[in-house]
């Protein structure tokens, strides 16, 4: 799913509200993980004919047409028209209808829906939790482990990201739909590929060694996060009690 370069473009487009400019090395699933959206939604909103073929500089829509992202700068009839591709003429007509029809104000959307333990999600590793979520210095939980212990997907979904990050080792992100992602870091061997479907409890990696200096950094552990629309949420509120 690597993208092609676009060096001949005279001027890079500027992303407006609800839009994203494709960067070199981006894939649809990586963009989804950055924006906290579903890859399928982005492909649909952007009218992508082939989601596997993106070009650097390409403008994608990462918010629903007709929502807050459809507002344009300026005044007057010309300035108020949304910028849409010719292939999206039908959506343009729908947007015109929406602008002409008064609508009720939308309620502010919460950072995440009320948390509840889910029967379709499980723990990614068997060890004891040694560091808890606090939303600032720790945006997930740390689970004690031994090098080589298995890491499993917390639920069914599609692998969105597999890459190396300094200080974290290999990282895997799984898109579970509904704007939820799970993140697994400090891995040694990754057993899945980007775009691969996985099931709950399926082994996706082995845990690596210590990820930093000092006694705490040298301790072998899995760092695990759950994100909703890109925002970290407390994993214990969603996972089965233990």
For the ranges 12-16, 185-189, 206-210, the one whose mean pLDDT is highest: 185-189
Q: Using the predicted structure, report yes or no on whether residue 111 has a pLDDT greater than 90.
A: no
77 with 140, same domain: the answer is no
156 with 212, same domain: the answer is yes
Dist CA 220 CA 10 (whole Å):
49
The predicted-structure confidence for 38-54, as pLDDT tens digits, reads as follows 788 888 898 888 877 88
Number of domains in the chain: 2
138 with 71, same domain: the answer is no
The predicted-structure confidence for 166-185, as pLDDT tens digits, reads as follows 667 789 999 999 889 999 99
Is 115 exposed, middle or buried, given 0-12, 13-18 or 19+ CB atoms closer than 10 A? middle
0.75 exceeded by pTM: no
Identify whether 10 is part of a domain: no
What is the pLDDT at residue 86? 34
Q: Using the predicted structure, report yes or no on whether residue 70 has a pLDDT greater than 50.
A: no
Please state, rounded to an integer, the average pLDDT across all residues of the chain: 76
88 with 140, same domain: the answer is no
Tokens matching residue 62: 């990462």
Name the one residue in this structure whose structure tokens are 């209808």. Answer: 97
Q: What is the dihedral of CA 152, 168, 172, 142, to 10 degrees?
A: 40
The strand ranges marked E within 111-220 are 129-131, 141-144, 150-152, 157-165, 169-177, 180-190, 197-198, 203-207
Containing structural domain, residue 46: 19-100
């Amino acid at each position: 799913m690597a993208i092609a370069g676009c060096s001949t473009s005279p001027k890079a487009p500027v992303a407006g509200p609800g839009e994203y400019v494709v960067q070199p090395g981006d894939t649809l699933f990586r963009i989804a993980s950055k924006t906290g959206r579903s890859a399928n939604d982005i492909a649909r909103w952007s009218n992508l004919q082939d989601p596997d073929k993106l070009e650097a500089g390409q403008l994608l829509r990462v918010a629903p047409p007709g929502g807050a992202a459809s507002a344009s700068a300026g005044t007057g009839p010309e300035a108020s028209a949304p910028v849409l591709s010719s292939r999206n003429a039908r959506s343009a007509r729908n947007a015109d209808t929406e602008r002409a029809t008064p609508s009720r104000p939308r309620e502010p959307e919460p950072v995440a829906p009320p948390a509840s333990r889910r029967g379709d999600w499980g723990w990614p590793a068997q060890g004891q939790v040694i560091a808890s979520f606090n939303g600032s210095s720790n945006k997930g939980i740390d689970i004690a482990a031994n090098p080589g212990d298995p890491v499993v997907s917390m639920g069914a979904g599609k692998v969105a990201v597999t890459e190396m990050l300094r200080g974290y080792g290999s990282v895997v992100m799984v898109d579970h739909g509904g704007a939820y992602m799970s993140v697994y870091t400090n891995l040694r061997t990754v057993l899945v590929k980007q775009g691969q479907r996985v099931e709950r409890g399926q082994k996706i990696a082995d845990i690596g060694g210590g990820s930093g200096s000092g006694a705490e950094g040298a301790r072998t552990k899995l760092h695990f996060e759950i994100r909703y629309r890109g925002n970290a949420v407390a994993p214990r509120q969603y996972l089965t009690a233990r």
